[in-house]
Chains A and B, each alone.
Chain A
């Protein structure tokens, strides 16, 4: 199938709107992506004609909703190529997935003196839950550093690993630098030492082909809303072995087998980890978003976004007064930069009034800012519906910013 950008743009109703009387140029996709009409319609249809709590009712609607929810799980399984659908746990998002995992994993496997390894380029959501776990269990957090180019110094990993290492948590695509990290290499090294690896896929699942079986990661997490799906839904993929061994992270309805006041036994996978009424319409709509991505073709998306990134990079560097952060050879969809001598917030304010949505600040990755000794950056994060014309508008407006503040 050919990737027709105009057709793709037509699939996203919000892209035709204006802000401050100017066409919206939405370059804040790292924060959240816009939704295609199929996803919007799906949410609307389910609320209009199929809403019913799942797995509980004996009635027609409950059956239909349950089936759709479990089909959604199967769609996610296929999309990330997990072995079993019951290895897909629905969560409210990446942050919830990591926090929940940190709790369950910590309860089962972490003892005083143990160590967990993260990287210097993690999002706070993949630092703080592990720090909190370390605090609770008197464990230690260790960090794989990165180079100024934005490359993980994976050669340090061998020295960081010891017999106390219990987990390695690594961001797949850096939300600040765009670096695509060599997760397969990290996993294979970790597995030689029998250490499980969590891959944070919040910024990768919407851009790259994900194959959890091939990379052999133990845990993979992502959010629906950054992958063209709705907010409030995300996924924790975990290998069956871990899900069997770990205790549930929440108690409540649906996750139990037998409840008495003396003892409660857990339901089978995946329900053991889905206490309470799940966001089933969110899950169903997320599956719709993933089907949409599949229909466009992962290869097409990768190629188109790669062209966009290259175009944007050249455009920014051609300005001559822009410092770009992150220039890894293998990079995805993030342009993090500063205009020399201009505060990122000032730039963001002017870009906003030109109809351009970017993020400014630390992007929930303060250690990355500390690495470069800066207060923040401007981040233009690309999606499959962005165009080279939009990147031209960005560059032209940056020129105005430079004139105003420079």
Chain B
């Protein structure tokens, strides 16, 4: 099975194919369409990460030692980036998620999208994913120790 590192490398090489920003954005639009729909019962205020610019909904569920994330956004480019984050961090153990260093964002030139001032919900989304991991680790894994 591919590691978080392997998937990040994969994404970086996919983006290397584009030398134009519009192509990168077109690819993100494509990725946004591939993002599996979030169950409507999870697209609720409790799961809303409210940015000033765009909104993100995130849900995480723990099963058999791994966390499965589903998410959505009202802005398409944000949703494209959301789909990359899901691809990297979903179906992973809490420990893998907590330890993950998401360097691919920088390498594919999307770092500005994660600046706190952008307020598009993405930075908070990553924090929220790590918080899910911490919470599930505390709830299920420490219990078994």
Closest Cβ of chain A to B23, distance in Å, is 11
Please report the C-alpha to C-alpha distance between residue A394 and residue B77 in the assembled complex, in whole angstroms.
Answer: 20
Not counting A343-B74, A350-B25, A361-B53, a sample of 9 additional A-B residue pairs whose C-beta atoms are within 8 angstroms of each other reads A20-B21, A343-B54, A345-B75, A345-B78, A350-B22, A353-B22, A362-B52, A405-B29, A405-B76
- CB-contacts of B102-121 with A (<8 A): 120
Closest Cβ of chain B to A376, distance in Å, is 7
7 A-B contacts (beta carbon < 8 Å): A345-B53, A345-B120, A353-B21, A360-B53, A361-B52, A361-B53, A362-B52
For B29, the closest partner residue in chain A by CB is A404
A400 touches B52 (CB 8 A): no
A residues near B52, Cβ cutoff 8 Å: 361-362
Q: Does B13 contact A (CB under 8 A)?
A: no
A343 touches B75 (CB 8 A): yes
For B121, the closest partner residue in chain A by CB is A345
For B119, the closest partner residue in chain A by CB is A361
Please report the C-alpha to C-alpha distance between residue A376 and residue B75 in the assembled complex, in whole angstroms.
Answer: 11
Q: Does A8 contact B (CB under 8 A)?
A: no
Q: Does B26 contact A (CB under 8 A)?
A: yes
Closest Cβ of chain A to B45, distance in Å, is 15
With A343-B54, A361-B52 already in contact, the answer to whether A375 and B74 are too (CB < 8 A) is yes
Task: Give the residue among A20, A349, A361, A376 with the most B Cβ atoms within 10 A.
Answer: A349
Closest Cβ of chain B to A393, distance in Å, is 15
Contact code string B27-63 (vs A, CB < 8 Å = 1, else 0): 0010000000000000000000000111100000000
Task: Give the residue among A346, A362, A400, A405 with the most B Cβ atoms within 10 A.
Answer: A346
- CB-contacts of A18-61 with B (<8 A): 20
Q: Is the interface of A mostly helix, strand, loop or mixed?
A: helix
Give the total of A residues in contact with B, Cβ under 8 Å.
16
For B78, the closest partner residue in chain A by CB is A345
Closest Cβ of chain A to B6, distance in Å, is 28
A-B contact count (CB 8 A): 37
Please report the C-alpha to C-alpha distance between residue A404 and residue B55 in the assembled complex, in whole angstroms.
Answer: 20
B residues near A348, Cβ cutoff 8 Å: 53
B54 touches A345 (CB 8 A): yes
A404 touches B26 (CB 8 A): yes
Contact code string B9-22 (vs A, CB < 8 Å = 1, else 0): 00000000000011
Task: Give the residue among B22, B55, B75, B120 with the most A Cβ atoms within 10 A.
Answer: B75
B residues near A361, Cβ cutoff 8 Å: 52-53
- CB-contacts of B97-141 with A (<8 A): 120
Q: Interface of B with A (CB < 8 Å)?
A: 21-22, 25-26, 29, 52-55, 74-78, 120
For A405, the closest partner residue in chain B by CB is B76
A residues near B76, Cβ cutoff 8 Å: 343, 346, 405
For A348, the closest partner residue in chain B by CB is B53
A residues near B55, Cβ cutoff 8 Å: 375
Please report the C-alpha to C-alpha distance between residue A16 and residue B126 in the assembled complex, in whole angstroms.
Answer: 38
Task: Give the residue among B25, B53, B74, B78 with the most A Cβ atoms within 10 A.
Answer: B53
B residues near A353, Cβ cutoff 8 Å: 21-22, 25
Closest Cβ of chain A to B20, distance in Å, is 9
Q: Pick the contact of B22: A343, A362, A376, A400 (CB < 8 A).
A: A400
- CB-contacts of A348-383 with B (<8 A): 348-350, 353, 360-362, 375-376
B residues near A400, Cβ cutoff 8 Å: 22
Please report the C-alpha to C-alpha distance between residue A380 and residue B26 in the assembled complex, in whole angstroms.
Answer: 24
Please report the C-alpha to C-alpha distance between residue A343 and residue B120 in the assembled complex, in whole angstroms.
Answer: 12
For B21, the closest partner residue in chain A by CB is A353
Please report the C-alpha to C-alpha distance between residue A343 and residue B25 in the assembled complex, in whole angstroms.
Answer: 14
For B73, the closest partner residue in chain A by CB is A343
Please report the C-alpha to C-alpha distance between residue A400 and residue B22 in the assembled complex, in whole angstroms.
Answer: 10
Closest Cβ of chain A to B120, distance in Å, is 6
Please report the C-alpha to C-alpha distance between residue A348 and residue B21 in the assembled complex, in whole angstroms.
Answer: 13
B21 touches A346 (CB 8 A): no
B77 touches A349 (CB 8 A): yes
For B76, the closest partner residue in chain A by CB is A346
A349 touches B25 (CB 8 A): yes
- CB-contacts of A292-350 with B (<8 A): 343, 345-346, 348-350
A404 touches B25 (CB 8 A): yes
For B26, the closest partner residue in chain A by CB is A404
**Nearest 5 CB-CB pairings of A with B:** A353-B21, A343-B75, A345-B75, A345-B53, A345-B54
Please report the C-alpha to C-alpha distance between residue A376 and residue B119 in the assembled complex, in whole angstroms.
Answer: 13
- CB-contacts of A139-182 with B (<8 A): none
Please report the C-alpha to C-alpha distance between residue A345 and residue B120 in the assembled complex, in whole angstroms.
Answer: 8
B residues near A349, Cβ cutoff 8 Å: 25, 77
Please report the C-alpha to C-alpha distance between residue A348 and residue B29 in the assembled complex, in whole angstroms.
Answer: 15
A residues near B75, Cβ cutoff 8 Å: 343, 345-346
Please report the C-alpha to C-alpha distance between residue A343 and residue B55 in the assembled complex, in whole angstroms.
Answer: 11
A residues near B78, Cβ cutoff 8 Å: 345-346
B residues near A375, Cβ cutoff 8 Å: 55, 74
A residues near B74, Cβ cutoff 8 Å: 343, 375
